[in-house]
Amino acid sequence: MARAIAVLIGSPGSGKSTVGEALARRLDTDLLCTDTEIEKRAGKPVGDIFVEDGEDHFRVLEREIVAEGLRSWEGVIAVGGGAVLDERTRADLDAHHVVYLQVQFGEAAKRVGMDAARPLLSGNPRTKLRQLLNERLPIYEGLASVTVETTGYHPEEIVDEILPTLDNSGKAEK
Protein backbone atom coordinates (compact mmCIF):
# COMPACT_ATOMS: atom_id res chain seq x y z
CA MET A 1 0.00 0.00 0.00
CA ALA A 2 1.34 3.43 -0.95
CA ARG A 3 1.45 6.14 1.63
CA ALA A 4 1.21 9.88 1.11
CA ILE A 5 4.16 11.93 2.30
CA ALA A 6 1.83 14.40 4.00
CA VAL A 7 -1.90 15.14 4.03
CA LEU A 8 -2.86 18.79 4.42
CA ILE A 9 -6.11 19.68 6.17
CA GLY A 10 -7.62 22.98 7.23
CA SER A 11 -10.44 25.41 6.77
CA PRO A 12 -11.24 27.27 3.58
CA GLY A 13 -8.54 29.90 3.13
CA SER A 14 -5.90 28.09 5.16
CA GLY A 15 -3.68 27.58 2.11
CA LYS A 16 -3.98 23.84 1.54
CA SER A 17 -3.65 23.98 -2.24
CA THR A 18 -1.04 26.74 -2.32
CA VAL A 19 1.11 25.23 0.43
CA GLY A 20 0.54 21.77 -1.04
CA GLU A 21 1.95 22.91 -4.38
CA ALA A 22 4.98 24.48 -2.68
CA LEU A 23 5.58 21.39 -0.51
CA ALA A 24 5.26 19.00 -3.44
CA ARG A 25 7.64 21.14 -5.49
CA ARG A 26 10.20 21.21 -2.66
CA LEU A 27 9.97 17.42 -2.26
CA ASP A 28 10.08 16.87 -6.03
CA THR A 29 6.79 15.01 -5.98
CA ASP A 30 3.19 15.59 -7.04
CA LEU A 31 0.19 17.15 -5.33
CA LEU A 32 -3.24 15.58 -5.28
CA CYS A 33 -5.73 18.37 -4.59
CA THR A 34 -8.97 16.50 -3.96
CA ASP A 35 -11.20 19.43 -4.98
CA THR A 36 -9.37 19.69 -8.31
CA GLU A 37 -9.72 15.94 -8.84
CA ILE A 38 -13.45 16.13 -8.06
CA GLU A 39 -13.82 18.86 -10.69
CA LYS A 40 -11.96 16.76 -13.26
CA ARG A 41 -14.11 13.70 -12.66
CA ALA A 42 -17.38 15.61 -12.53
CA GLY A 43 -16.48 17.77 -15.51
CA LYS A 44 -17.56 20.94 -13.72
CA PRO A 45 -16.49 23.29 -10.92
CA VAL A 46 -17.20 22.45 -7.29
CA GLY A 47 -19.71 25.32 -7.07
CA ASP A 48 -21.69 23.87 -9.97
CA ILE A 49 -21.68 20.41 -8.39
CA PHE A 50 -23.23 21.87 -5.23
CA VAL A 51 -25.87 23.84 -7.16
CA GLU A 52 -26.75 21.24 -9.80
CA ASP A 53 -26.20 17.95 -7.95
CA GLY A 54 -26.31 18.91 -4.28
CA GLU A 55 -23.89 18.73 -1.38
CA ASP A 56 -24.64 15.03 -0.75
CA HIS A 57 -23.47 14.13 -4.27
CA PHE A 58 -20.35 16.26 -3.81
CA ARG A 59 -19.55 14.52 -0.50
CA VAL A 60 -19.88 11.07 -2.12
CA LEU A 61 -17.39 12.07 -4.83
CA GLU A 62 -15.13 13.62 -2.21
CA ARG A 63 -15.17 10.52 -0.04
CA GLU A 64 -14.26 8.27 -3.00
CA ILE A 65 -11.41 10.49 -4.17
CA VAL A 66 -9.96 11.03 -0.69
CA ALA A 67 -10.10 7.27 0.03
CA GLU A 68 -8.40 6.46 -3.28
CA GLY A 69 -5.73 9.07 -2.64
CA LEU A 70 -5.01 7.84 0.87
CA ARG A 71 -4.69 4.28 -0.47
CA SER A 72 -2.48 4.95 -3.46
CA TRP A 73 -0.98 8.45 -3.63
CA GLU A 74 2.70 8.74 -2.79
CA GLY A 75 3.00 12.52 -2.96
CA VAL A 76 1.32 15.31 -1.04
CA ILE A 77 -2.47 15.40 -0.63
CA ALA A 78 -4.56 18.52 0.03
CA VAL A 79 -8.07 17.54 1.08
CA GLY A 80 -11.10 19.82 0.95
CA GLY A 81 -11.93 21.52 4.23
CA GLY A 82 -15.11 19.50 4.75
CA ALA A 83 -13.67 16.07 3.94
CA VAL A 84 -12.85 15.57 7.61
CA LEU A 85 -16.56 15.56 8.47
CA ASP A 86 -16.79 12.03 7.08
CA GLU A 87 -16.22 9.45 9.82
CA ARG A 88 -14.55 6.98 7.43
CA THR A 89 -12.20 9.66 6.14
CA ARG A 90 -11.19 10.51 9.70
CA ALA A 91 -10.44 6.83 10.35
CA ASP A 92 -8.43 6.60 7.12
CA LEU A 93 -6.42 9.70 8.02
CA ASP A 94 -5.29 8.10 11.25
CA ALA A 95 -2.60 6.11 9.40
CA HIS A 96 -1.14 9.24 7.76
CA HIS A 97 0.98 12.25 8.63
CA VAL A 98 -1.68 14.95 8.83
CA VAL A 99 -0.62 18.59 8.74
CA TYR A 100 -3.30 20.96 10.01
CA LEU A 101 -2.83 24.35 8.38
CA GLN A 102 -4.27 26.71 10.96
CA VAL A 103 -5.39 30.19 9.92
CA GLN A 104 -6.86 33.03 11.93
CA PHE A 105 -10.44 33.97 11.08
CA GLY A 106 -9.64 37.43 9.68
CA GLU A 107 -6.96 36.07 7.36
CA ALA A 108 -9.19 33.22 6.17
CA ALA A 109 -12.00 35.70 5.46
CA LYS A 110 -9.61 37.87 3.41
CA ARG A 111 -8.33 34.89 1.45
CA VAL A 112 -11.73 33.44 0.55
CA GLY A 113 -13.46 36.80 0.08
CA MET A 114 -16.72 36.48 -1.81
CA ASP A 115 -15.49 33.51 -3.84
CA ALA A 116 -18.43 31.92 -5.67
CA ALA A 117 -16.35 28.77 -6.05
CA ARG A 118 -16.86 28.16 -2.31
CA PRO A 119 -20.53 27.20 -2.18
CA LEU A 120 -20.67 26.58 1.55
CA LEU A 121 -19.79 30.23 2.06
CA SER A 122 -22.62 31.62 -0.07
CA GLY A 123 -24.94 34.10 1.58
CA ASN A 124 -22.97 35.80 4.34
CA PRO A 125 -19.43 34.43 3.85
CA ARG A 126 -17.98 35.80 7.10
CA THR A 127 -20.75 34.28 9.23
CA LYS A 128 -20.63 30.98 7.35
CA LEU A 129 -16.83 30.85 7.60
CA ARG A 130 -16.95 31.47 11.35
CA GLN A 131 -19.52 28.66 11.73
CA LEU A 132 -17.36 26.27 9.67
CA LEU A 133 -14.25 27.13 11.68
CA ASN A 134 -16.05 26.63 15.00
CA GLU A 135 -17.58 23.33 13.88
CA ARG A 136 -14.43 21.88 12.37
CA LEU A 137 -11.69 23.16 14.69
CA PRO A 138 -11.87 20.26 17.17
CA ILE A 139 -11.82 17.78 14.27
CA TYR A 140 -8.79 19.40 12.63
CA GLU A 141 -6.94 19.52 15.94
CA GLY A 142 -7.81 15.91 16.75
CA LEU A 143 -6.55 14.61 13.41
CA ALA A 144 -3.35 16.65 13.29
CA SER A 145 0.05 15.02 13.56
CA VAL A 146 1.38 18.58 13.47
CA THR A 147 -0.23 22.03 13.39
CA VAL A 148 1.34 24.85 11.38
CA GLU A 149 0.09 28.44 11.56
CA THR A 150 -0.35 30.04 8.13
CA THR A 151 -1.56 33.52 9.07
CA GLY A 152 0.96 36.10 7.90
CA TYR A 153 3.37 33.55 6.42
CA HIS A 154 4.47 33.00 2.84
CA PRO A 155 3.86 29.46 1.50
CA GLU A 156 7.62 28.76 1.41
CA GLU A 157 7.91 29.70 5.10
CA ILE A 158 5.08 27.30 5.90
CA VAL A 159 6.84 24.55 3.95
CA ASP A 160 9.97 25.28 6.02
CA GLU A 161 7.87 24.49 9.12
CA ILE A 162 6.47 21.27 7.65
CA LEU A 163 9.71 19.76 6.34
CA PRO A 164 11.29 19.02 9.76
CA THR A 165 8.21 16.94 10.63
CA LEU A 166 9.12 14.55 7.80
CA ASP A 167 11.90 12.00 8.20
CA ASN A 168 15.13 12.21 6.15
CA SER A 169 13.64 10.28 3.24
CA GLY A 170 10.94 12.93 2.81
CA LYS A 171 8.39 10.50 4.23
CA ALA A 172 6.17 11.46 7.09
CA GLU A 173 6.68 10.39 10.64
CA LYS A 174 3.45 9.43 12.36
Task: Please indicate if the annotation marks 18 as binding a ligand.
Answer: yes
Task: Please indicate if the annotation marks 17 as binding a ligand.
Answer: yes
Distance CA 93, CA 17 (A): 18
Task: Please indicate if the annotation marks 81 as binding a ligand.
Answer: yes
Task: State the CB neighbour count (10 A cutoff) for residue 158.
Answer: 22
Task: Please indicate if the annotation marks 80 as binding a ligand.
Answer: no
Note whether 6 and 141 are within 8 A (CB): no
Task: Please indicate if the annotation marks 59 as binding a ligand.
Answer: yes
Task: Please indicate if the annotation marks 35 as binding a ligand.
Answer: yes
Going by C-beta distance under 8 Å and a sequence separation of 6 or more, which residues neighbour residue 165? 6, 97, 99, 145, 146, 172, 173
Going by C-beta distance under 8 Å and a sequence separation of 6 or more, which residues neighbour residue 40? none
Task: Please indicate if the annotation marks 145 as binding a ligand.
Answer: no
Task: Please indicate if the annotation marks 111 as binding a ligand.
Answer: no
Task: Please indicate if the annotation marks 152 as binding a ligand.
Answer: no
* Residue ranges of the binding site: 13-18, 35, 59, 81, 118, 136
* Residue ranges of the binding site for Mg(2+): 17
* Residue ranges of the binding site for ATP: 13-18, 118
* Residue ranges of the binding site for substrate: 35, 59, 81, 136
